[in-house]
A and B are shown apart, each in its own frame.
Chain A
């Protein structure tokens, strides 16, 4: 006799759990939301659904194999995991990296940054339901993946860096192709800005939404483009230069809140666009600066053993400061390899960031944080 039940329509707080798999989420995670109507009143985040025991896996395999595991730290931008690990080992073993190898590494890193920022824009476009720009951006990213394939033989998971250099030299015409792709993306980006970045409907969805305050950046240890969008001028490439970044000229764009507030979703989006053009500047300089010589330190052969010691290094990945703590006991396998992924800070900021945001904006806010859940869950 169900029609005799009293129907109730409550207007107090509602709870809603989304995840681990939901269209609103950029990656597997679970959000417990408390909703006041359509406004998020509170939120808690549960992660760990992508835990693979990666740091333990390092300890079970040889030093050489560790590079291919570092690829999987963040499959989207594999190069930064490799780079951090190699820098750590090179610091322990005091291995010199030939200048040519350094440049090749930077080329790969900056191309990865461009590719990652394109994917970031794809996720933002998906979150606001703009399917056309998704296809355009993925089409351009394919060109970068082609370059990766040309240089390393793989489109993802390169396993390309070696302790003391890289595994192979660039082929003839590679640099020219890099510049061609950069030029193509630069030209097209103008068109995309008209279509998307400064589209009125997109601005309505992003400007003034969920601003991240500089105070919160400090509180949660947020780095990378998200921190810079909030006005915190911090970039490892400038503050702790590595791989010869100090010899390159580039600017660190900082959020200005042109379309709303400093550090809002649109600022986080635009800051990545600006970084993209800075990365292209770097690539342009590298094409002129690429020195001749070795691409791998000759002393490092298959029998190389990492001496005992420990090192902590940091690189600027596409998401922020990626730290790597490498400990060696002189044995055939790493004693401990530990990463400090930038996504952790972003994850911790979610509850305070989405408080007071409309539930419809949740996918947009989450996409704007550029969460690399693989590196956070490890």
Chain B
């Protein structure tokens, strides 16, 4: 287990500052670098693509003023939102929860699997950390909502908690299905058991894994309140729920947090089921022969980001054309449809794995 990915230590070496640096400093630098170099650009790019594509679906033009074809619109939005002040001072409770939220959310950066060379913490428990942080987030959101003392806050908070609990069970079971095929929950093992070509991916290894993929994606939407299953946050009766009290900077941070959840979920979907960052075998060998490790890392990153964006835009596409479901319908769907399917997938995948072991 290394505390910072290879490319960051190589980078620090090149600057000549790695010697004698405590481990927590290099780990923090790695997290900050991941956040600033990968997450923020991804968020701007995906928000631009989302807005342009949605505009196309909806017979609109979309952003077209800032920069060529509106390319700088996310940047303009970010700058504007960062300038906006928040009107209300927060109580110490809310600030405490803000800190806990931020820690829960971004602690998952330590386990984000963005390529074989970009792994920071690669343990058997890495795949479970996102679930833990989603539950902490839901609990915090619920308590924040109850603490707001307004009806949108109460309903928003409780609905978020209900949805997260409902989504967690099928998502965990689907995760077990993927782990059952590889025999490990290490990102590196999960990834290396798959290949570049689609028929080498976990989701196409047997029909039950395909069910598990479907369940995993949909229960992720329930778990993290992603549109169209975002009833807890966005029903029109509570317009925004817990977030109805947020303005300006805090609102943009809140939205970024939600985007991060969506992004992270799509990344682990790709790693678990959709071939992870695997490039064609010969290409990897060739690059390793040449010693072009950094290029390999960049190519892997590009591949996994492309797949991730594809998954995200697919969800956006469905979200754009569907009405929003009620929260009780969403939780019903998670408990009564997704959960049975996830159990079917688990039983099927384990029988399949046992049968393969006997042969």
Contact surface of A with B, Cβ cutoff 8 Å: 14, 16, 22-24, 35, 38, 125-132, 134-136, 139, 195-196, 199, 201-202, 204-205, 358-363
Contact = CB atoms under 8 A, between A and B. Distances in A.
B323 A129 contact: yes
The list of the 3 closest CB pairs from A to B, nearest first, reads A129-B324, A23-B239, A135-B58
Contacts, number: 72
B59 A136 contact: yes
- Secondary structure of the B contact surface, majority rule: loop
A16 B151 contact: yes
20 contacts: A23-B239, A24-B237, A38-B328, A125-B323, A128-B323, A129-B228, A129-B234, A131-B58, A132-B321, A134-B58, A136-B58, A136-B59, A195-B321, A199-B323, A201-B228, A201-B323, A201-B324, A204-B325, A360-B327, A363-B237
B60 A205 contact: no
B58 A201 contact: no
Contacts of A135: 58-60
Given A14-B151, A38-B155, A201 B325 contact: yes
A2 to B, nearest CB: 8
Of B236, B239, B320, B323, most A-chain CB atoms within 10 Å: B323
B231 interface: yes
Contacts of B228: 129, 201
A199 B318 CA distance: 12
Contact of A24 (B57, B236, B329): B236
Interface of B: 54, 57-60, 151, 155, 228, 231, 234-237, 239, 320-329
Contact of B326 (A196, A199, A205): A205
Nearest to A134: B58
Nearest to B237: A24
| Prevailing SS type, chain A contact patch | helix
B325 to A, nearest CB: 5
Contacts of A132: 54, 57-58, 320-321
Contacts of A38: 155, 328
Contacts of B236: 23-24, 126-127, 129, 363
A110 to B, nearest CB: 25
Contacts of A201: 228, 322-325
Contacts of B235: 129, 360
Contacts of B234: 129
A127 B239 CA distance: 11
A362 B235 CA distance: 11
A346 to B, nearest CB: 19
A204 B151 contact: no
A375 B329 CA distance: 36
A199 B324 CA distance: 11
Contacts of B231: 360
Residue with the greatest number of chain A CB neighbours at <10 A, chosen from B234, B237, B327? B237
A24 to B, nearest CB: 5
A19 B321 CA distance: 29
Contacts of B323: 125, 128-130, 196, 199, 201-202, 205
Contact of A360 (B60, B237, B320, B321): B237
A143 to B, nearest CB: 13
Nearest to B329: A204
A117 B57 CA distance: 23
Given A23-B239, A360-B235, A139 B59 contact: yes
